[in-house]
Amino acid sequence: MTGKSRKITLLISMSLYSCLLFFCQSIYAGEKADVVFINGQIETLNQRQPKANAVAVKNEKFIAIGSDQKIKSFIGPDTKVVNLNQQLVVPGFVDAHTHPMETIWLKEVWVDARYPGTPSVKQALENIAKRVQSTPRDQWIYVAGVSASENKFSEKRLPSKAELDQVAPNNPVIMANGAHMAIANSAALAKMGVKKGVTKLPHGAGVLADKNGEPNGVITDGMGDIPGSPTPQEIARYYATDIAKFWNSYGFTSVMAITPAAAIPIMQSVSLSTPTPNIRYTASVWAAPNGAGMPQDLSVFEMPAKANSAYYRFGAIKAWVDGENDCRTGYMYEPYVGVMDTDPPGGRGTLVTDQALANQFSKLANQNNKVSMLHCSGDAAIDIGLNAYEALSKNQQTNTIKRIEHFGMFQLSPEQLKRGQVLKKSRFHFSTQPIWLLELVNADYENMGVQRAKTGYQFKTLINAGLEPAASTDMTGIYLGNIDPFKAMYATVTRQSDMGIFEPQEAISVRDALRMWTIWPAKAIGEDQQKGSIEVGKYADMTVLSQNIFQIPKENLKDIKALKTIVGGREVYTSN
C-alpha cells in the first residue's frame, strides 16, 4: 500500500468513525443521564477521542463523552452530578490473570512467612511454631512464603522437612515457596499418601526424593493435590464482597478470576444472590494443573441464565505446562545454574503438561468457543505453548483467543517473538506480571545466569512487535503487594528492579503502561468491545487517580493511589 493509499484509508476510517460516533451519540440526544461526571481530565484511550472533561452515564454505560458544556445537557432532575475536581480519570483497570479466591484465603488464614517481613528460615519456623500452639492436633497448617524464598532468606535455603517436623510433629504442614513449590512435613506427606517410590500425584504434582529415594518434602505444582480450601461459606463471601473491596481499592473494575472447577458452583450461586457486585468477573476454570478432568462439554461452567452477564461470565480454561523459573521449576532447554536440594531431577524444571496434552487442551477450549490459557514460564515450555497454538490455528472451528500466561517474563528468544507475531492473526494474546521486576530479577540472575536472565521482561520489544502485553497481578496471596498496579507501572517505565536498573532500553511510555492495565487486558479476555477504554456504549468503568501520571516525574508513579473506583457509574471505592 502506498503512502497516499494509507492516507486515504485513514481518512475513510476516521470519517466512518465520526459518522458512527455521531450516530451513537445522537441515539442518546435528549436523554437524561443517571449520573454525570464533570470537571475532570479524562484520558479515554480511544485514539479518535483521546481526551474529555466529562461523561454521561445511563444504565451503567457511557452515553456521551466530551466537554462540560456538552455533558451538562444530559442533566435532568434525577441526575446525580459528580465533580471530578480536575483529577485525572482513566479507564477502570482490568486484571488479566489473578487468583482472587485464593488471595483472600491466604491473606486471612495462612501463617505469614513472607519476605521481607520474615527474613529467615529461623523466623519462618518461629511463626509456624506459634500457630501450632493454637491449632488442634492433626489439623492442617498452611504457610505462605514468597516466590524464590531460597534466594531471599538469610540462610539462602528453604526450611527442611525435618525442621517442619520438629516445630509441628502432630500437624500436617505445607509451606508454599510461591505458587509452584511447597515444602511438606512428614505428617502432610502421610496425609497425601506420599511414600518412598512415589514421584507423581494424581493431579500432576511432582514429589522429590533424597539420595536414598525417600521423599524429601518438596512438592512441585501441587495445587491440585494438596488438600484444603476455604469453606463454601467463605468462598461465597469472597466473591460477593471481599474480592471487590481489595481490588477496588487499587482501581480495578474487572478481573479474570482463575478459579478451581470445584468453586464454580459457588460462584454460580453468588451470581444469583449478588447480581451486581462491585467488580466484574470473567472466570477462567482449571480442573488439574495438567488440564486433566475437564469435561468435553464446558457448558457446566456457564453462569446461570438469570445471572447478570455484565458482572459474571465464564470465559476461559487454564492448564500449567510447567512450573515457574523463580523456584527453578520452569521447564527449560538448559539446566539451571548450580544444584539445589529442591531441584526436580535433571535440573531443567518440571514438565506438567506435555505437547500432546497441550494440543488436546487448546483444541477443547476452541471447540467450546472459550479462551485457552497455557501457563508457560521456561523457554522449552513456551515452545510447547506456541506449538499447540500453531497446530490449532491450522485446524480450528472458530478463531478463539489463544493465550500464553507469562509469555516472555523470564525468557524470550527472537524466534519465539517472531512466532508470537505470526500467531497474532490467530488472536494470540498473553498476560504479563510487570511488578515481578521489583521482586524476581535477582533470583533470575542467580538461577539462570546473566545471558538467559537478560532476555526477560522485554516489554518495549513486545510492544514494538505489536503484541500488546496484558498486565496482571497474578495475585495468589503469596505477594500481597502485587495488587498495586501503580508500582508495576513504575517498574515498566523506570526499569527499576530488585537489583537496580535492569535493561533500561526496555523502558516503555506511561501511556503504554496504562494500556497494559486497561485496553490490552480487555482484548486478552475478549471483552474490548465492553471495557478497557472510555467510549460511548461501553461499561462506565473508571478510575480517578491521586495525581496526573502524565505530568509527574516517572519515579513518582509508585506513589500514585486510586482516589475513586467507578463501576457502571457507581462509586464503589472512595479513598479516605
Amino acid 11: pLDDT: 47
* Residue 317 · residue 361 · CB < 8 Å: yes
Amino acid 95: pLDDT: 98
| Residue 309 CB coordination number (10 Å) | 12
What are the mean pLDDT values of the chain's consecutive 10-residue runs (576 residues total)? 46 46 54 97 96 98 98 97 98 98 95 95 96 96 91 94 96 92 94 91 89 91 88 97 98 98 97 98 96 96 98 98 94 96 93 97 98 98 98 96 98 98 97 97 96 97 98 94 97 97 98 98 98 98 98 98 98 95
Q: How many residues does the chain have?
A: 576
Amino acid 148: pLDDT: 85
* Residue 534 · residue 56 · CB < 8 Å: no
Distance between CA 24 and CA 60 in Å, rounded?
A: 16
Q: Helices 355-367 and 379-394, interaxial angle, to 10°?
A: 40
- Structural domains present in the chain: 25-86+535-576 (2.30.40.10), 102-220 (3.10.310.70), 241-528 (3.20.20.140)
Amino acid 84: pLDDT: 98
Distance between CA 277 and CA 569 in Å, rounded?
A: 13
Amino acid 28: pLDDT: 63
* Residue 149 · residue 155 · CB < 8 Å: no
Sequential DSSP letters for 486-523: HHHHHHHHH-EEBTEE--GGG---HHHHHHTTTHHHHH
Contacts of residue 187, Cβ cutoff 8 Å, sequence gap at least 6: 138, 165, 168, 169, 170, 171, 172, 173
Which sign does the torsion angle of CA 486, 491, 492, 493 carry? positive
Residue position matching grid coordinates 454521561: 56
Question: Residue 183 — φ and ψ, nearest 5°?
Answer: -110, 125
Amino acid 382: pLDDT: 98
Amino acid 221: pLDDT: 87
For the whole prediction, is pTM greater than 0.85?
yes
Distance between CA 211 and CA 390 in Å, rounded?
A: 41
Amino acid 9: pLDDT: 46
Amino acid 420: pLDDT: 98
Q: Is the peptide bond before 304 cis (omega within 30 degrees of 0)?
A: no
Question: Residue 415 — φ and ψ, nearest 5°?
Answer: -65, -40
